[in-house]
């Protein structure tokens, strides 16, 4: 029996959450095409071939511009220090950027932890592009303990990744029971599901300005509990966009989120969504704390 913690890190939008979900065959982390989707570290647990792999999906590491960004980057960097092996994920279809190099510098700070590179999105790459990418990696990022080329979206190359991680797992006990695939509490799964649907339906600054909170759960005699959920935005103009014309956007978000949540809970629910304005909440420490986003000095 071998087990180990594996940090999944990289700059925003390279596919860390997609990879974590595909590895554990469950949706533990929400996914969108907007950079900065994941805000906390989320464990996805895979039991395979007698081994327990505990993947820690982290927020994309970037130079923070506000307190929420600071929380996100510090969560990811903290995770680097607590694991058996680091998985550095790159988007192979894009040139290696200063953003990737910034992540690499943070990894270097974790000194002796082994690091495996994942070149993701190979479905978008030709053989020639892959050849060129290998040379570019060596030049710009240096050497790794292992390199795996894969497509998270199409689940191509995942067994190779498990084989590459195998030597870094440690003999001993399992950390989690065999039927557990995430450490996310149910309230977080619910708020993240709502946030994901909102991310899919909004753009520009709005996805980053959204926070979601369950304010009440009312048990009902018919067994169909009512979830009262607040959606926070930063400006009143954003409130209108999230609600949409005649409430269309909010209604669609409600229908799609409820469908997913009912599947997860295995029962029918009612859901009320309210949109509220909390000016510049991403810069406000007390509000961030209330939402469970902790900052370094906490």
Ligand X SMILES: Nc1nc2c(ncn2[C@@H]2O[C@H](COP(=O)(O)OP(=O)(O)OP(=O)(O)O)[C@@H](O)[C@H]2O)c(=O)[nH]1
For residues 46 and 88, the answer to whether their CB atoms sit within 8 Å is no
For ligand X, which stretch binds (CB under 6 A), given 9-17, 47-55, 136-144, 162-170?
Answer: 9-17
At residue 270, the 3 state secondary structure works out as strand
Strands 51-57 and 170-171: unpaired
Residue with tokens 């370094």: 296
Cα dihedral 219/269/39/98 (nearest 10): 180
**Nearest CB to ligand X, comparing residues 208 and 258:** 208
Q: Which two tokens stand for residue 4?
A: 């180990």
Q: Which stretch binds ligand X (CB under 6 A): 43-51, 151-159, 186-194, 248-256?
A: 151-159
Residue range at the interface with ligand X (CB under 6 A); choices 150-158, 168-176, 180-188, 279-287:
150-158
Q: Is 152 in the site for ligand X (CB under 6 A)?
A: yes
**37 interacts with ligand X by CB under 6 A:** yes
Let me know if 9 is exposed, middle or buried by CB neighbors in 10 A (0-12, 13-18, 19+). Answer: buried
Which is closer to ligand X, CB of 14 or CB of 86? 14
Q: Does residue 123 bind ligand X (CB under 6 A)?
A: yes
The region of 14-22, 100-108, 219-227, 289-297 touching ligand X under the rule CB under 6 A is 14-22
Cβ distance to ligand X smaller for residue 13 or 51: 13
Binding site listing for GTP: 10-17, 57-61, 120-123
Q: Which stretch binds ligand X (CB under 6 A): 12-20, 46-54, 200-208, 273-281?
A: 12-20
Parallel, antiparallel, or unpaired: how do β-strands 226-233 and 211-218 relate?
antiparallel
Using Cβ positions, the residue closest to ligand X within the complex turns out to be: 60
Options 26, 70, 153, 213; binder of ligand X; rule CB under 6 A: 153
Contact between 92 and ligand X per CB under 6 A: no
Q: Which is nearer to ligand X, 34 or 285 (CB)?
A: 34
Residues numbered 49 to 68 that lie near ligand X (CB under 6 A) are: 59-60
**Which residue in the block uniquely carries the two structure tokens 């007698």?**
50
Burial call 233-271: b when 16+ CB within 10 Å, e when fewer: bbeeebbebbbeeeeebbeebbebbbebbeeeeeeebeb
Using rule CB under 6 A, residue 18 touches ligand X:
yes
Binding residues: 10-17, 57-61, 120-123
Contacts of 145 (CB under 8 A, 6+ apart): 85, 114, 115, 116
Q: CB within 8 A of 114, min separation 6: which ones? A: 84, 85, 86, 145, 168
Question: According to the binding rule CB under 6 A, does residue 33 interact with ligand X?
Answer: yes
Give the total of residues touching ligand X (CB under 6 A).
24
Three-state SS at 84: coil
Given the rule CB under 6 A, which residues bind ligand X? Answer: 10, 12-18, 31-33, 35-38, 59-60, 120-121, 123-124, 151-153
């Amino acid at each position: 029996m071998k087990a180990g913690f594996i940090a999944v890190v990289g700059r925003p939008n390279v596919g860390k959450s997609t990879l974590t979900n595909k590895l554990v065959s469950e949706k533990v982390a929400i996914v969108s095409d907007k950079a900065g989707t994941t805000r906390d570290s989320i464990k996805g647990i895979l039991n395979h071939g007698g081994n327990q792999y505990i993947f820690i999906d982290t927020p994309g590491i970037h130079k923070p511009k506000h307190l929420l960004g600071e929380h996100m980057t510090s969560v990811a960097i903290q995770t680097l220090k607590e694991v058996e092996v680091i998985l550095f994920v790159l988007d192979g279809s894009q040139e290696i950027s200063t953003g990737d190099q910034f992540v690499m510098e943070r990894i270097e700070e974790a000194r002796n932890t082994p690091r495996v590179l994942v070149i993701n999105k190979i479905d978008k790459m030709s053989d020639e592009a892959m050849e060129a990418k290998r040379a570019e990696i060596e030049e710009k990022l240096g050497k790794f303990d292992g390199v795996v080329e894969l497509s998270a979206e199409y689940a191509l190359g995942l067994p190779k990744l498990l084989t590459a991680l195998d030597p870094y797992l440690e003999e001993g006990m399992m950390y989690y029971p065999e039927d557990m695939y995430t450490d996310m509490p149910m309230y977080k799964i619910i708020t993240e599901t709502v946030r994901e649907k909102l991310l899919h339906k909004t753009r520009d600054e709005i996805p980053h300005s959204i926070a979601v909170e369950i304010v009440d759960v009312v048990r009902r005699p018919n067994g169909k509990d009512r979830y009262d959920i607040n959606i926070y935005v930063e400006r009143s103009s954003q409130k209108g966009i999230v609600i949409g014309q005649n409430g269309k956007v909010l209604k669609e978000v409600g229908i799609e989120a409820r469908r997913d949540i009912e599947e997860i809970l295995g029962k029918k629910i009612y859901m009320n969504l309210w949109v509220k304005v909390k000016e510049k909440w991403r810069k406000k420490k007390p509000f961030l704390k209330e939402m469970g986003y902790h900052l370094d000095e906490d």
